[in-house]
């Protein structure tokens, strides 16, 4: 889940994408010296390999076009490589800060008591099953206490992400349960006293993104769910101990999204990254990465209280000028621009790998999703298209861009997908199939139907107990088919099948999702 950004759309650059192959991370291009140490590239995984080879190729190709002087060429290649890797490495940090800042209220839970519609442009790939609760939580001053009510068994989950987009803790269904509880959220290095009856949660960073999802069974259930949202609170520890509780913000209608500039590139990106590194530095064992990126202007962050305070104030204001701006460097600008293409190509390669043998479905259940550690390229892929995605044990998001024959899905054709009896998506909570336009937003249609799932009323099942869904632009011919119709746009589209609390068969690959069959 993240905002749209056409500058980072998935571009198909076949010649360069072919370099993202299974080769040892850190390997140098033949006859060329390695530009950066191996630590800068992190680790690799199936479908997300060849990071170092791609950077080497991009950097030397750029440098060779700039000058014939060997010393200048080497410096340009090194600055380009450092900038390209800095963008991949730092993108999640920049995106998380940009995302939480749009919530406006710090250290307060903000909920929207309205299901997402096609009119929403706040985030891409939204679900239409749950009400969202968000929180821009800052631990720069003191810890916070999160209070959640007893939801009476209603599914909800609070995902707590650090500033690097790692999901370090969960509350609610599938983790702590749906009973009431109080949880103390503390920053790195905190050594205070935990109040009796309160559970301790240690955040790896000072900035925390809270993303909550509360299930509703359609519009009729909204009024019952609203009181639950009003009991999600965040309170500074000293106030909580004194008996005060934070006041949540609950909107009946989603407020207009704040205008946000595109993710910066070039020296602007480096400046933004440097400021946010002061607030939320990476783990100590990744210091080598920051040193490797110095040719692009990346700096080791200051840990002084004054520096943190200044960075915090600048982050609230969203002011990149608060950080020293590196001197403009064409190699840095070119390197960050190349990184956008690199991530897009890597995403396409990863999607192909996770689609292999799955008849058009990309199924991402890799254990590193949501707990990225040193998987820097994989983390950037998720930050680009699915920022805020849950870890697989909480939810998986199989995605289809193609039918069973590998042809792209388009509203110029008609499709069916049939779940045989007993073979609906295996979940402990719920499932839904949601339609998205090529821009990753919901498709506006006269039926106001954006998804079909296990709670959709009026679905028609076959005599054999199977469920066939009709995916097409025009309404189907019969009443029964229209009951099972998922409207599609007239041009390219894709679908996400959400499985919340997936069963083991969905995680280990035993369960196979039926393909989309083109019928005309």
Q: Which of 198, 228, 251 lies at the terminal end of a domain, its last residue?
A: 251
Are 306 and 333 part of one and the same domain?
yes
Inter-axis angle of helices 376-385 and 70-101, nearest 10: 50
Structural domain includes residue 434: yes
Residue 16 has pLDDT above 50, yes or no: no
Are 240 and 279 part of one and the same domain?
no
Q: Which of 349, 364, 385 lies at the terminal end of a domain, its last residue?
A: 349
**pLDDT tens-digit readout, 398-455:** 999 999 999 999 999 999 999 999 999 999 999 999 999 999 999 999 999 999 999 9
Are 91 and 128 part of one and the same domain?
no
The whole-angstrom separation of Cα 345 and Cα 362 is 15
Output the pLDDT for position 319.
62
Are 202 and 142 part of one and the same domain?
yes
User: By residue range, what is the domain housing residue 34?
Assistant: 6-98+263-349
**pLDDT tens-digit readout, 329-366:** 999 999 999 999 999 999 999 989 999 889 999 999 99
* Mean pLDDT score, 473-490: 97
The whole-angstrom separation of Cα 108 and Cα 249 is 7
Output the pLDDT for position 67.
85
Exposed / middle / buried, residue 279 (Cβ in 10 Å: 0-12, 13-18, 19+):
buried
Structural domain includes residue 481: yes
Q: Among 72-86, 170-184, 256-270, where is mean pLDDT lowest? A: 256-270
Structural domain includes residue 470: yes
* Mean pLDDT score, 285-312: 94
Which of these, 437, 443, 439, 436, lies nearest to 498 by C-alpha position? 436
Residue 3 has pLDDT above 50, yes or no: no
Which of these, 55, 76, 96, lies nearest to 339 by C-alpha position? 55
Q: How much of the chain, in percent, has pLDDT values that exceed 70?
A: 91
CA dihedral angle for residue 317, residue 318, residue 319, residue 322, rounded to 10 degrees: 80
Are 89 and 178 part of one and the same domain?
no
Q: Among 102-111, 276-285, 492-501, 506-515, where is mean pLDDT lowest? A: 102-111
Structural domain includes residue 504: yes
Output the pLDDT for position 23.
36
Buried b (16+ CB within 10 A) or exposed e, 370-390: bebebbbbbbbbbbbbbbbbb
Are 68 and 130 part of one and the same domain?
no
Output the pLDDT for position 32.
84
Output the pLDDT for position 11.
27
The whole-angstrom separation of Cα 267 and Cα 259 is 22
Q: How far is CA 494 from CA 387, 407, 452, in A?
A: 18, 12, 14
Residue 264 has pLDDT above 80, yes or no: yes
Output the pLDDT for position 324.
56
DSSP code for 106: B
The rounded Cα 195 to chain-centroid distance in angstroms is: 33
Residue 259 has pLDDT above 80, yes or no: no
Output the pLDDT for position 68.
83
Q: Which of 227, 251, 275 lies at the terminal end of a domain, its last residue?
A: 251
Strands 156-162 and 167-172, bridge-based pairing? antiparallel
Structural domain includes residue 509: yes
Domain at 413, CATH number: 2.60.120.1600
The whole-angstrom separation of Cα 415 and Cα 516 is 6
Q: How confident is the model at residue 27 (pLDDT cuts 50, 70, 90)?
A: very low
Q: How far is CA 183 from CA 197, 202, 343, in A?
A: 9, 10, 36
pLDDT averaged over the chain? 91
Output the pLDDT for position 121.
79
* Mean pLDDT score, 5-31: 36
Q: How confident is the model at residue 154 (pLDDT cuts 50, 70, 90)?
A: very high
| Domains contained in the chain, number | 3
Are 120 and 80 part of one and the same domain?
no
Output the pLDDT for position 219.
79
Are 246 and 290 part of one and the same domain?
no
Output the pLDDT for position 412.
97
Domain at 184, CATH number: 2.60.40.1610
Are 113 and 91 part of one and the same domain?
no
The whole-angstrom separation of Cα 470 and Cα 46 is 34
Residue 31 has pLDDT above 80, yes or no: no
Q: How confident is the model at residue 323 (pLDDT cuts 50, 70, 90)?
A: low
Output the pLDDT for position 280.
97
Are 211 and 120 part of one and the same domain?
yes
**pLDDT tens-digit readout, 62-110:** 999 998 899 999 999 999 999 999 999 999 999 999 999 888 899 999 9
Cβ-contact 233, 180 below 8 angstroms? no
Are 237 and 124 part of one and the same domain?
yes
Q: How many C-beta atoms lie closer than 10 Å to residue 317's C-beta?
A: 11
Are 138 and 237 part of one and the same domain?
yes
Strands 199-202 and 181-186, bridge-based pairing? parallel
Residue 258 has pLDDT above 90, yes or no: no
Angle at CA of residue 307, ends 303 and 312, nearest 5°: 110
Output the pLDDT for position 12.
28
Structural domain includes residue 316: yes
Structural domain includes residue 389: no
Exposed / middle / buried, residue 289 (Cβ in 10 Å: 0-12, 13-18, 19+):
buried
Output the pLDDT for position 327.
66
Structural domain includes residue 376: no
Q: What is the SS3 assignment for 300-312? A: CCCCCHHHHHHHH
């Amino acid at each position: 889940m993240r905002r749209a950004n056409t500058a980072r759309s998935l571009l198909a650059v076949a010649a360069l994408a072919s370099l993202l192959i299974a080769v040892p991370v850190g390997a140098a291009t033949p006859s060329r010296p390695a530009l950066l140490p191996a630590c800068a590239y992190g680790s690799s995984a199936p479908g997300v390999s060849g990071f170092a080879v791609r950077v080497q190729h991009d950097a030397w190709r750029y440098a060779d076009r700039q000058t014939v002087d060997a010393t200048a060429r080497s410096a340009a290649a090194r600055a380009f490589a450092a900038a390209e890797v800095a963008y991949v490495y730092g993108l999640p940090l920049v995106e998380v800060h940009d995302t939480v800042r749009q919530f406006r209220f710090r250290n307060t839970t903000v909920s929207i008591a309205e299901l997402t519609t096609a009119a929403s442009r706040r985030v891409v790939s939204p679900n239409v099953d749950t009400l969202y609760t968000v929180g821009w939580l800052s631990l720069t001053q003191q810890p916070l206490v999160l209070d959640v009510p007893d939801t009476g068994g209603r599914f909800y989950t609070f995902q707590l992400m650090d500033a690097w987009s790692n999901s370090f803790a969960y509350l609610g269904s599938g983790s702590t349960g749906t009973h009431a509880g109080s949880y103390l959220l503390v920053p790195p290095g905190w050594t205070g006293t935990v109040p009796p009856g309160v559970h301790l949660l240690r955040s790896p960073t000072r900035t925390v993104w809270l993303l909550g999802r509360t299930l509703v069974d359609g519009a009729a259930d909204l009024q019952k769910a609203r009181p639950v949202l009003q009991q999600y609170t965040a309170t500074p520890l000293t106030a909580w101990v004194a008996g005060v509780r934070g006041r949540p913000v609950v909107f009946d209608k989603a407020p207009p999204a704040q205008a946000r500039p595109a993710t910066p590139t070039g020296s602007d990106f480096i400046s933004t990254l440097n400021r946010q590194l002061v607030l939320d530095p990476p783990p100590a064992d990744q210091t080598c990465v920051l040193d490797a990126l110095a040719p692009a202007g990346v700096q080791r962050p200051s840990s002084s209280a004054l520096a943190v305070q200044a960075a915090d104030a600048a982050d609230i204001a969203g002011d990149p000028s608060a950080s020293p701006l590196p001197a403009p460097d064409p190699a840095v600008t070119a390197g960050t621009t190349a990184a956008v293409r690199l991530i897009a190509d890597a995403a396409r390669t990863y999607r192909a790998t996770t689609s292999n043998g799955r008849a058009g479905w990309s199924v991402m259940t890799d254990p590193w999703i949501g707990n990225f550690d040193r998987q820097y390229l994989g983390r950037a892929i998720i930050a680009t298209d699915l920022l805020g995605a849950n870890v697989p044990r909480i939810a998986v998001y199989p995605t289809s861009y193609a039918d069973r024959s590998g042809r792209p899905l388009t509203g110029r054709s008609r499709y069916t997908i049939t779940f045989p009896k007993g073979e609906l998506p295996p979940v402990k909570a719920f499932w839904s199939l949601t339609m998205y336009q090529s821009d990753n937003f919901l498709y506006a249609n006269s039926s106001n139907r954006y998804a079909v799932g296990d709670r959709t009323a009026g679905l028609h099942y076959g005599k054999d107990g199977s469920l066939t869904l009709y995916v097409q632009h025009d309404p189907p011919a019969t009443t029964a088919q229209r009951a099972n119709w998922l409207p599609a746009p007239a041009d390219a589209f894709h679908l996400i099948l959400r499985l919340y609390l997936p069963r083991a068969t969905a995680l280990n690959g035993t369960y196979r999702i039926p393909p989309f069959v083109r019928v005309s």
